[in-house]
Amino acid sequence: MKQKLLIAGRLILGAIFVYAAYAKLRAPWIEFVGSLNAFEILPESALEPVAKTLPWCELALGVALISGIWQRWFALIASVLLAFFFTVMLRSYIVGLKIDCGCFGPGDALGPKTLARDFSLLTLAVVVTVASFRSRRGTRSDSTSNVADQAA
């Protein structure tokens, strides 16, 4: 049952990253530059490269999560990325910036709903990460103990 929940969490997280990437990629990249610039954290010289590469990185991360390849490492990357996104969004909200978060393309205003949604995604990513590392560790110790039992 735990394994099925882990797979479901990984698939949900992966699908959300794929959708977020798709939403950004279908709009002109200059719109995403506007969203990034509104956060007031990147130098102007970094806006274009980040706007052009971040959606592709999100797409790759989503596909990796869906495929299950190196599950614990990609779940960890998703957790770190979402923690960064949430921190930036929370800071912007506290400072009082009335901006478009850009999470799922243009038109996604930063507010309590977007913060709650992103915190939920961060929580899911952390749960998937912890469960991935625990399930790997459990598998290794079980197989090690079986080898030791067979040798005795």
Report how far residue 132's alpha carbon sits from residue 45's, in angstroms, rounded to the nearest whole number.
37
Say if 131 falls within a structural domain. yes
Report how far residue 140's alpha carbon sits from residue 131's, in angstroms, rounded to the nearest whole number.
14
Number of domains the chain is built from: 1
CA distances (Å), origin 4, targets 31, 111, 131: 38, 33, 11
∠ CA 139-3-63, nearest 5°, is 100
Say if 144 falls within a structural domain. no
- At residue 136, the pLDDT reads 59
Q: Could you tell me the residue range of the domain that residue 85 belongs to?
A: 2-135
pLDDT tens figures, 60-113: 999 999 998 998 999 999 999 999 999 999 998 999 888 887 778 667 788 889
Q: Specify the pTM.
A: 0.79
- At residue 137, the pLDDT reads 54
Say if 142 falls within a structural domain. no
Say if 150 falls within a structural domain. no
Report how far residue 9's alpha carbon sits from residue 11's, in angstroms, rounded to the nearest whole number.
5
Say if 145 falls within a structural domain. no
Say if 140 falls within a structural domain. no
How many helices (H) and strands (E) in the chain? Answer: 5, 0
Say if 143 falls within a structural domain. no
pLDDT tens figures, 101-147: 777 866 778 888 999 999 999 999 999 999 988 885 544 433 333 44
Predicted confidence band of residue 32 (pLDDT cuts 50, 70, 90): confident
Say if 149 falls within a structural domain. no
Report how far residue 81's alpha carbon sits from residue 134's, in angstroms, rounded to the nearest whole number.
21
- At residue 152, the pLDDT reads 45
The token pair at 18 is 């794929």
- At residue 116, the pLDDT reads 93
